[in-house]
Structure 1
Amino acid sequence: MKKSNQNIQVVENYFNAFQQGKIDQVLDSFHDDCLIVSVKDENRPKKQLHGTYKTKSEAQQFIANIVDLFDTKKFEVERIVAQNNIVFANGSFVHEVKATGKMFVSDWVQLSVIADGKIKEYRFYEDSAAFVKASAV
């Protein structure tokens, strides 16, 4: 149980750093050899948010894409639970899409696999249809 609690702390630290705008700490949460899947597991153009990112250098692009796309109005973590090195979190958010000024409102679920005290695998799911709608000009 102690290891599960340590793994929950890794994810909590990630969320706290993001909410405090500490981007270097956010990036440091990721393992050097990480895999990030944002909504769909497929290749993506560099500036596209949804898709697959591999390695810590691409994790930096993932974070930049979020910061470039959204002005976060609300981000709530409802629960974080772990079993061994698997951590699930869920909540809700309200982002203003910078390009359109429209609100993107969604519930979300995140699965993280922790290795060496870092996020090795990160899968984030949100209402992608709401994102498309809020991004439409």
Structure 2
Amino acid sequence: MEKSNRNIQVVNDYFTAFQNGNTNQVLDSFHEDCLIVSVKEQQRPKEQLHGIYKTKKEAEQFIANILALFNTKSFEVERIVAQDNVVFANGSFSHELKATGKMFVSDWVQLSIIEDNKIKEYRFYEDSAAFVEASKV
């Protein structure tokens, strides 16, 4: 149980750092050899949010893409649960898209695999159809 609680804390600290705007701490949450899957498991152009990011260097691009796209109005974490090194979290958010001024509202689910007290694998799922709709000008 103690290991699961430590892993929950890693994910909780990640969310807290993001909500506090501490991008250095957010980046530090990721393992050097991490894998990030944002909505879909496929290659992506550099500035595109959804797709695969590999290594901590690309995690920096992931964070930059989020900050470039959204003015976050709310980000709620409903629960974080773990079994050993696998951590599930879910909640809801509302973002204003900077490019269109439209609201993107969605529930979300995140799966993280923790290794060496860092996020080694990160998979984030949201209502991508709502994102596409809010992106239309």
Question: Aligned residues, how many?
Answer: 137
Query: 2:30 matched to which residue of 1?
Result: 30
Using the TM superposition, give the Cα deviation of residue 120 of structure 1 relative to its aligned residue in structure 2, in angstroms. Answer: 0.1
| Cross-structure match for 1:134 | 134
| Percentage of identical aligned residues | 78
Determine the C-alpha separation between the residues in 2 that align with 1:27 and 1:135: 26
SS in 1 for 2:131: helix
Structure 2 distance, partners of 1:79, 1:16, is 14
Give me the whole-angstrom Cα distance separating, in 1, the residues matched to 2:134 and 2:74: 16
In structure 1, distance between residues paired with 2:136 and 2:4: 41
Deviation track 1:73-126 (CA, whole Å, cap 9, x = no partner) reads: 000000000000000000000000000000000000000000000000000000
1:82 has 2:116 as partner: no
Other-structure match for 2:18:
18
Secondary structure of the equivalent of 2:132?
Answer: helix
Aligned counterparts, 1:44-123, within 5 A: 44-123=44-123
Amino acid at match of 1:31: H
Equivalent residue letter for 1:109: V
Partner amino acid, structure 1, of 2:99:
A
Displacement of 1:50 in angstroms is 0.2
What TM-score comes out, normalization by structure 2 length?
Answer: 1.00
Q: Which residue identity does 1:114 align to in structure 2?
A: I
Q: TM-score, normalised by structure 1?
A: 1.00
Kindly report structure 1 stretches of 4+ aligned residues shifted beyond 4 Å: none
Gaps (5+ residues) in structure 1?
Answer: none
Q: 1:14: how far off? A: 0.1
Cα distance in 2 between the residues matched to 1:136 and 1:39? 19
Q: Which runs of 5+ in 2 are unaligned?
A: none
How far off its partner does 1:136 sit?
A: 0.6
**Distance of 1:135 and 1:26 partners within structure 2:** 26
Q: Structure 2: how far apart are the matches of 1:29 and 1:134?
A: 29
